Amino acid sequence: MTQSHVPATLGRTTDAVALSTTTTHQIGPMLRRRRREMNLTLAQVAGSAGIASGFLSEIERDQASPSVATLIRLCDVLGISVGSLFTSNQPLLVRAGSREKMRYGGQMITYELLTSRTANTMAAIMGELQPGGMSGPEQHTLNAEEEFVLVLQGEIVMQIGAQSYHLYEGDALTFDPREKHRYLNPSPTQVCRTLCMITPQPR
């Protein structure tokens, strides 16, 4: 869920978390290319996004993974949508064993892209949260029209503003991702799996 993506949750330590995957969707070079297109320095972008220049350099070299909230701030500074970083030219058929893993921050959580994502189409993302896992340490918003979350296994707490929703297997929630939100797996023992559907805003 990240966007996010994407869904959301929260803490500063999340910024240092890098997902260990063999096929990650590398967003660092895309951010660097956009920064250079705008003739902005590392210090300018990092300062506007509220992070250190060294950390931004690591993100651009795919040596660190930003939290959802940090990625959103970077995209805002660079004038691009989070969804544009995950555009895929792969065929629409996605085999279970070949899903593209997404580098999207968070704590004890992995994301897999299930669709070929473009700016004006639905994006489907599979999330797996380990016990105690969360999408990030801060509530965040996504520049999208609608977000749908279905719990496939386990349980998840969705926090949207001051409201909390405790969802169990089979439960679903649809909400406006432009509202601040976050999510976490409250179980100390059970993995939570979710299916998240996001409708980007039309351009």
> What is the distance between the alpha carbons of residues 121 and 125, in angstroms, rounded to a whole number?
13
With H, G, I as helix, E, B as strand and everything else as coil, classify residue 53.
helix
Phi, psi (rounded to 5 degrees) for 68: -55, -45
Per-residue burial over 151-189, b = 16 or more CB atoms within 10 Å of its CB, e = otherwise: beebbbbbbbeeeeeebeeeeebebebeeebbbbbbbee
Structure tokens at 60: 């651009």
Q: What is the pLDDT of residue 180?
A: 93
Cα dihedral sign, 165-169-173-179:
positive
- Whether residue 20 is predicted with pLDDT greater than 60 in this model: the reply is no
Q: Is the pLDDT confidence value at 4 over 70?
A: no
Per residue in 161-187, pLDDT (tens digit) is 999 999 999 999 999 999 999 999 999
pLDDT value of position 107? 81
What is the per-residue pLDDT across 40-98, written as a single tens digit (0 to 9) for each?
999 999 999 999 999 999 999 988 888 778 888 898 899 987 767 766 554 567 678 77
Domain range for 141: 1-203
Q: What is the per-residue pLDDT for 104?
A: 63
Helix axes 28-37, 68-78, angle to 10 degrees: 20
Position 101 scores a pLDDT of 77
Tell whether the torsion through CA atoms of 13, 33, 99 and 69 is positive or negative: positive
**What residue type is 8 in one-letter code?**
A
Return the closest-CA partner of residue 15 out of 95, 74, 87, 91. Answer: 74
Q: Domain containing 145 — which CATH number? A: 2.60.120.10
51, 142 contact by CB (below 8 A): no
The answer for residues whose C-beta is within 8 angstroms of residue 36's C-beta and 6 or more apart is none
Query: What's the confidence (pLDDT) of residue 36?
Result: 93
Lowest pLDDT segment from 84-98, 142-156, 189-203: 84-98
Q: What is the total count of domains within the chain?
A: 1
Give the pTM. Answer: 0.58
Please say if the pLDDT value at position 18 is more than 60. Answer: no
pLDDT of 105 reads 64
Summarize pLDDT for 109-135 with one digit per residue, the tens.
888 888 765 445 678 899 999 999 998
Whether the predicted pLDDT of 8 surpasses 60: no
